[in-house]
Every structure is written in C-alpha cells, then in structure tokens.
Structure 1
Amino acid sequence: MMRILGLLWLLISALPLAAYLPPEIHTLLDKDHIAPSQVSIYITPVKKGAALAKHNVDTRRKPASVIKLTTTYSALREFGPRWRWPTRFYYSGNFAHGVISGDLIVKAYGDPTLSCKDIPSIVKRLKKIGVRRIEGGLLIDRSFFAVGDRIHSSFDEHPYSEYNAMPDALMFDDHLCRIIVDPHSGRPEAQKKVPDPGYRILNNLKVTDQACRGRYSWPNVRVHEENGVATVSLSGALSKRCAPRYVSLVLSHPYQAFNGALRQVLQAAGITLAGPMRLGRVSEGARELLTHTSRPLIEILAKTNKKSNNLYARHIFLLLGAKRYGAPATLEKGRRAVKAILGARGILGEETILDNGCGLSRKTRTTARALHRLLQDAYRSYGWTWLGALAIAGVDGTVARRYRHSPVRRHAWLKTGTLKDAKNIAGYVKGRSGTLYNVVILYNGPERWKGKLLQDQILEWIVKNK
C-alpha cells in the first residue's frame, strides 16, 4: 500500500500546474459565466513563492496592447533608460555672413515626440548659430523608415482616429491635424492650428445661444477624401457659451505640418526660408548645424505603456529593427529584433507571433507564460524604473478611472489591452501583506466586459487577501 501511495504521489507531483486555480477564482468564473477555456491566468510572487494561479498559461491568445510590453522592454534593454532620439539638421551649399546658399536639411530618425513645442528651441539655436537667411528650401529626409506612405492604418471603421496613425520617420504632433473651432462670434470660426496643405476644412457650423451641452457642445465632424486629399466637414450648431473646441484627426503626412510650423516660427524670428519644401536624402557634402534630441527614452516608454500609445510603440519597434539590422527600418527587422533581444533572455519563443509592436493587429499572438517571463525578468533587471513606466492603478494612464474608487488604487502597475474580442491585463499587484505579485490575465471572448470584471475582481482579491 505504501508503495502504491508513493507512486501516486510521484505521479501527482509530476503533473503540470497548468489547470491550477484557487477556489476563489473558480467561484468568480462560475459567477461571471466565463468558460475556463476563454481565459489564461498566471499569478506568482515576483520573488520566490508558490503560484497563486496557473491556468492555460501556454494557450496562444490575442494580447492586444499588452504586447507593447515586449516592444518597450526590448527598447529598455537595447538602449537603456537615458538614451535620446535624435533629429539632425544640416545645410547644403555655403554658410557665410548669416546666409545659407543651399537648403536647410532635416534628417529624421523617427522621434515620435517631436512637436510644435520643440520648434521654438530649434529656431532659437539656428539663430544663435547665426542663420538669418536660407536661399534654398527645406529638404526632409525620411529614409530611415521604409514603411510605405499610408497615413492611417484603416484597422477599423475609424481610420482618422489617433490610434490608427501610421509611422513616419519625420513624425510631428503625434500625426494629428488639429482644427481650432471658436464659437465666440456670429459664425463659429474654424482654423488649422498649424498651416498644412494636406487637408481642407469645409465649415458649415452655426452658432446658437443654447447651453453648452448635448448636441450643442461639439460640432458634427465628417471626413471624405478625394484625390488623396482629406476634407473635414464641420456642421451643426455650436453654443457660443462653449470654450474653443479642438478637433484632432489623422489627415495628412506629418512632414506637411512640420514644414508649416517651422516656417511660422522662422518668420517670427526674422529668419527667411526662401524655397519650398521637398522630400529627398541628405546630400553628399552636407554639413551638420545642430541635433535636436528627445526626452529620455524611459519617459517615452512610460507614455507608450501608460497611455497605450500605438504610434509610439510602432516607432520604437521600427527603431529596434534599424538598431539591430541597419537602416532602413522595416517591420520584419523589428520582429526579428524583438525576438532576438527577448529570445536571448529566454522570454519569447515560437509561441509568440509579432506584427507591428503595438497590438493593433489581428495576427499577433502570445501566451500568459511568455508575458509572465517578461514581467519577472524586467522587474529583476530594472525594478522600480520599469514599474514606473507602467500605468498606476487609479492614478494615470488607461487605468486612472478604472481603479479610481477601488481598493486596487495605487497598489498595481499595469498594462492593459483591448480589442473587440479581447480584454487583457498584465503587470504587478501589491497584496495586503506587502508581497508584490506578477499578474497576467488574458481574456479572449465575445463579451469583453466579462474579462474586465474578472480582472478587477482578481486584482481586488489579491490586494485585500494576499
């Protein structure tokens, strides 16, 4: 009998823990009417300790934006937290007595944060160097990325929305065209924040004295394209009691807005840019004037994860490809780079299928085990530097409102991901005892609200009881 019991114990001990769930989570699945096959759950202490839950951890699922963790962690490992993105300015011809006889040349390397706020400091530096007049035009070199010329991804029925913006080596203002609508006159005025010939405005708005709420609080906005140029039609009635409204859409190539913004500030500073803008490559013999750099990479990674910024993730993904395999950056190089960086750490293998690095994809797949390995490795390597780049529950990012009035507030550092048939969350949760847990909960199913409910209940269970 003892021999039989011993054999049974050995057999039980050898069984995988893939189906292990505590009674509390079993109860939640039953109560929420969630089929166990729809979820993968992996919860362990970040330091030594037994798993709280380990269920379907090797099942491939759509990660949605949770896959951004693979992109941002790869970048942190490859470049370090203090690395800064460059944008270089050159000139062709001669430069004497304040006059450049050739072009002002911009060599773009994909800084996704370049914006209107950076232009004054760039122009100030040009003026300090002594530039007063540029006889040529503005030459923009976007060749660092080889991603085609699409403006938006058309992933869904909202192609002009911010999350559908496509990458460009010369990114500007998050690829958004901003229209300022001011109702404080007889007829609401609508104007471009930055001169941009890449789109048109058709303003049919009327002003009303009604209260600024409901249908009188925002213009009706429609976009149609003809011959590659978008027209934004504004209609309806806008209350004159409303503050100015900002309509932000992905409508044209970002270099158009960059050109307009740069010319505005150059003119205001008394610097003449005589010629037009054109696209090309840095000419042989061009000399460098200055290099503009972004904020430190860790701040860009934080915005990417906290706000789940698709555009930033796409740019980081492409940058990794160029860093590992040379310019121009391509999606395939990005896929290879992330697989190489994280594969060398034992994090990603054949179970993970990468697409564009941001999660806005129907092809991307990974497992709870792969994400769990990433979270373990990232915490052990970078600790609170890494946690600080995730959204803080109830405080910021995609989980600011979600956990504002929950016990989970300020007790979790998370990355979320949502598609029509996916609701996922991954990160770290601090339990009642002070133990920090590595948590991955992936739900793929038609009723994503059920996935969200389950995740919230599990996180609250950890915070209150563990």
Structure 2
Amino acid sequence: MLRIYLYSLTLYFISMTVHADELASLQALLPSGTNVAYMIGQPFSATNEITDDVISQQNTELLLTPASTQKLLTALTAKLYLTDEYTFNTSLHGNINKQSISHTEFNFTGDPTFTRDDLRRMLKQLKAKGVSRISGDISLNQSRFNGYNWGNGQVWNDQAVCYAAQASALVINGNCVLGNLKRSADLKKATIYIPDYEPLNLISQVDIMTKEQQQAQFCDLEVTRHPGNNYTLFGCITPSKRNLPLSFAISEPATYFAEVLKAELTQAKIKFTGNIVANQQPVKPAMVINHQSVKLAEIISEMMKESDNLIADILFKTIGAEYFQQAGNYRNGAKAMREILADKGISLTSSVIADGSGLSRHNLVSAETMFSVLEYTIKHDDKLQLLATMPIAGVDGTLQYRRGLLSKQLTGNIVAKTGSLKGLSNLVGIVKTQNNHKVPFVLMVSGYNPLPRDADKPRQASPLTQYLAAFFNTIVTKH
C-alpha cells in the first residue's frame, strides 16, 4: 500500500514539473526583454481547503509594479479595518433663525459616490426646514484629508483624464465631466461638446488631418489645464463620422463645486449673495442635514469590478485618517495598510506602497507578496466576500472584453483583479479548471514592448493576447 502511495506521489510531482516547465516555455510567445513573474497554487475545491503549497513559480521575489492589482490590498485593508458597514457622510452645518441660515458650512469626507443629485436633495431638505436665505459666506470644509490629491509617482499627463481624477475630500460626480469631440472630414478644426450645465470652459485648437499628415508632423491629441477649470485641447486628430468620447478630470474641485452650488441654490430658490470659501479647520456649527453614502461593501464592489482609481485612493486616505485619527493622506494610508495587514500575517516589508489605486509607478510588490494577499483573501472569503467583487472573464468588469480570455473554456472560469499600465499587464485571482478544481494564481508581466504589427496582418492577435490564452488554457486543461 505504501509503495502504491509513493508511486502515485512521484507521478503527481513529475506531472507538476512538466506543467511548470510548460508554463515557463510559454514566455517565448512574448517579445524579448519581457519580465514574467508568477505563482500557481495548489488546486482546491473549497475555500477552507486551500493550502500554502505552490505547484509552479517564476521570479516570485522580483519587485514589480502592481498597477491596479494594488486595489486588492486596498480592498482587503478596508474590509478588515473599516468593515462593510462603513459609510461616508457629507453634511451641511449652520445656525437656522426663522427663514435664514448663517455660518453655513459643507463638510466633505471624501464620499466617492456623492453626486449633483445628492446635493440637490440636500438643498430641498434645507428648503423644507423653511430656509429661503443664506446669510454671509458658505464654507467648504475639506479638513478630512491633507497633502497631495495625487499620489507620488502618478504620471503628470494623466491628471486631466477622469481615471486619474483628484482624490480630494470634496468629490462630486466623481470629479469628472464627460463630453465629446466632433471630428468630421468637413471640418478643419475639431469642436468640443460638453453639457451647458457643466461649469467648465474648453477651447479646441485641434486640427483634423490624414493619418499620413499626422505621422509626418509627429502630432497627437493633447490637453493643457488652466486655472479656474479651463482647458485647451490642441494637436491633431484623424477625421471620423463618430465623435470621440472625452472625459475631463476636474482641475479645481472646490471651484467646480462652488459654481454647481450657486446654480442649485438658484434652482431651489434659496437666496445667497455671499462668497464661497475653502476651509481646513474643524467644523464648528451644528449639523443641519446629513447625506450618507451606500455601505462600504457596495463601494468596494464598484471599485474592484470597474477598477475605479478614485474610490481606491479615497479609501486609502480614509484608512489612514481612521487608523491614526488625523487628516488622511497617502503617507499615513500606507503606514496604516502595512500595520493592518501585518496583524494578519501579511508582510509588506519589502514592498513600496505609494497609493491605493496602483496608478503610482513608485509602487513595487512581488508576486510572492501578492500571492500571500490572495491566499488570505481566499481562506477568509466566507467573511470578507471579496472574491465576488472580482471581474469575471468574458462576463463583467475589466475582464468582460479582455483579449486572450474570451474562449469558450476560459469565459466565466477566470475570476481575477486586473492591473494594466503602459508596458505591463497583471492578473491576480482564481482559475476554475476542467476537473472542477480552483487554482489560485498571480501573473505579472512587465517590460512588455511589442514590435509594430505587420501591416499585412492587422487582425493578428498581439503577443500578450497569445501568451494569456496559452497560459490559462494550460492551467484549465492540466489541473
């Protein structure tokens, strides 16, 4: 009996070695110079059966840029410390005397879900209290956070785009404005459209030209931000019957909010002739109205499925604020994350933690560290409910249309957090195999710089697409 057991065990490890060599050989599909790090865990059937065993690994201690897989660390830390019941509050303070309110102050705590409709409802509640006039100035209190609104190491030329919107204490409509660029062939200059109710000023100096002219002039579409939420688009673009969707990150959230507030006060027929001023001091007047966000569990689900950077960085700062009971910022957010996860046996000693979203190029995390985060998440999923927030290949979130993962045997069978920046592509999650097993994995591809595509083969899949398909098909069919 013992001989049979030892023989079976030997065959198992030989099989695992073959599979590991097969995975390593797939790197030949990628361009020369690409770095690949991965850890493949022991297959399991139920979350309480997961072990620390690894059946295949490569470059596991190499420190790499995690990109948005960093959000798994942020989500785990938030659930452990803030808990699923946590909510954000946006409140209106002041002293009401008959039909007037004075010492009026809005207090912002970074609610990433707060919208113009929410503001409108707050003003309707104020009106319902009999208030028809605001005496004196209105203060916008943003003392919840301090320091930069972007993390160190975030790319400067992303700052005008909504996926890099400012993680300020004052957030409204995601600190983002949507529009489009008309670029039909009958125009010489492209024209910008944004809704009339948006207090932004945009100027287009964008030339419309052929692709050949664009290449000859080394020209592209670019944007410059000016004070007061003013933007200039310049450069060039090729013609098309379809308008180009645009998203503008608000440069000055307080200035933007002030203009929106004035418009909404007029709509609510509440008279106001004072100034709207910024404030970083503790709130003093009594609270009159409070708007409460949805619970953290719902906010985290949105962050993970859609890889929302604003939510992630606000959670990061909020963790710092709550943990240290002071104004939150990227520094105390990082310290709090390290201590909270260390208490659960997850060490970030060798990692560089700069933000919660993964936008910063300063972040450095190894596949080994990321695997320890994933392993803890799986083991405690009955309580955490984090796996359900991850995108599913071919189904939803950032994996709904991910090339390389849309085959029949992969669709619905990969549940993972994505992470992509220029030159890198990461995935952290679980693969469901043909043998009805679940395989935990971390895959980090960096230094990816493919050669220009062959003009005669425009539909040929990219090297990364081919690699991802081969990598996960191997796991699905062999385990």
TM-score (norm 1): 0.81
CA distance in 2, matches of 1:20, 1:268: 70
Aligned position for 1:202: 203
CA distance in 1, matches of 2:335, 2:228: 33
- The alignment partner of 1:105 has SS state of strand
| Change in 2 beyond 3 A, CA 1:37/1:96 | closer
Aligned mate of 1:422, from 414, 421, 424: 424
Aligned mate of 2:434, from 421, 432, 435: 432
| Deviation readout 1:27-85 (Å, 9 max, x if unpaired) | 32345466796323333335346533122222222212211211111001111123211
Higher mean displacement: 26-35 or 292-301: 26-35
Aligned position for 2:41: 43
8 Å Cα contact 1:42/1:369 also seen in 2 = no
Aligned mate of 2:78, from 65, 69, 75: 75
Higher mean displacement: 324-333 or 447-456: 447-456
| Change in 2 beyond 3 A, CA 1:452/1:347 | farther
Note if 1:398 corresponds to 2:398: yes
Shift of 1:309: 1.9
CA distance in 1, matches of 2:282, 2:398: 44
CA distance in 2, matches of 1:227, 1:23: 56
8 Å Cα contact 2:75/2:300 also seen in 1 = yes
Aligned mate of 2:474, from 447, 452, 461: 461
Aligned position for 1:9: none
Aligned position for 2:97: 96
One-letter amino acid of the counterpart of residue 422, structure 1: L
Note if 1:376 corresponds to 2:375: yes
Higher relative contact order (CA 8 A, sep 6+): 2
Aligned position for 2:355: 356
One-letter amino acid of the counterpart of residue 291, structure 1: N
Note if 1:444 corresponds to 2:443: no
8 Å Cα contact 1:394/1:406 also seen in 2 = no
Note if 1:58 corresponds to 2:57: no
Shift of 1:239: 10
User: How many residues matched?
Assistant: 431
Aligned position for 2:4: none
Any residues of structure 2 matched to 1:312-323 within 5 Å, and which?
312-323=311-322
CA distance in 2, matches of 1:358, 1:464: 33
CA distance in 2, matches of 1:249, 1:132: 34
Any residues of structure 2 matched to 1:86-165 within 5 Å, and which?
86-91=89-94, 94-100=95-101, 102-148=102-148, 155=155, 157-165=157-165
One-letter amino acid of the counterpart of residue 426, structure 1: V
CA distance in 2, matches of 1:222, 1:35: 30
Shift of 1:90: 0.6
| Deviation readout 1:233-270 (Å, 9 max, x if unpaired) | 48999999868x76321242122222233332332222
Note if 1:24 corresponds to 2:27: no
| Identity across the alignment (%) | 21
CA distance in 2, matches of 1:34, 1:337: 39
Aligned position for 2:269: 270
One-letter amino acid of the counterpart of residue 174, structure 1: G
TM-score (norm 2): 0.79
Shift of 1:225: 4.2
| Deviation readout 1:331-376 (Å, 9 max, x if unpaired) | 1101111101111111123221111122122221111121111112
Higher mean displacement: 252-261 or 407-416: 252-261
| Change in 2 beyond 3 A, CA 1:133/1:372 | same
Structure 1 unaligned spans of 5+: 1-11, 13-18, 208-219
| Deviation readout 1:94-149 (Å, 9 max, x if unpaired) | 4122311x243111111122222322322232233332221223210111111236
CA distance in 2, matches of 1:382, 1:48: 11
8 Å Cα contact 1:152/1:166 also seen in 2 = no
| Deviation readout 1:141-184 (Å, 9 max, x if unpaired) | 1111112367998605444122332321101222223447799x
- The alignment partner of 2:365 has SS state of coil
Structure 2 unaligned spans of 5+: 1-9, 11-16, 209-219, 451-461
One-letter amino acid of the counterpart of residue 274, structure 1: T
Aligned position for 1:325: 324
One-letter amino acid of the counterpart of residue 419, structure 1: L
CA distance in 1, matches of 2:241, 2:424: 41
Aligned position for 1:294: 293
| Deviation readout 1:272-330 (Å, 9 max, x if unpaired) | 23322110146764010122122221222122222222222111111111111122112
| Change in 2 beyond 3 A, CA 1:35/1:250 | closer
The CA RMSD measured in Å over matched residues stands at: 3.6
Shift of 1:445: 2.1
CA distance in 2, matches of 1:65, 1:42: 20
- The alignment partner of 1:120 has SS state of helix
| Change in 2 beyond 3 A, CA 1:292/1:238 | farther
8 Å Cα contact 2:38/2:441 also seen in 1 = no
Note if 1:303 corresponds to 2:302: yes
CA distance in 1, matches of 2:240, 2:32: 49
- The alignment partner of 1:398 has SS state of helix
One-letter amino acid of the counterpart of residue 335, structure 1: A
One-letter amino acid of the counterpart of residue 42, structure 2: T
8 Å Cα contact 1:205/1:236 also seen in 2 = yes
- The alignment partner of 2:429 has SS state of strand
Any residues of structure 2 matched to 1:119-268 within 5 Å, and which?
119-148=119-148, 155=155, 157-179=157-179, 190-196=193-199, 199-202=200-203, 222-226=222-226, 230-233=230-233, 247-268=246-267
Higher mean displacement: 277-286 or 54-63: 277-286
- The alignment partner of 1:339 has SS state of helix
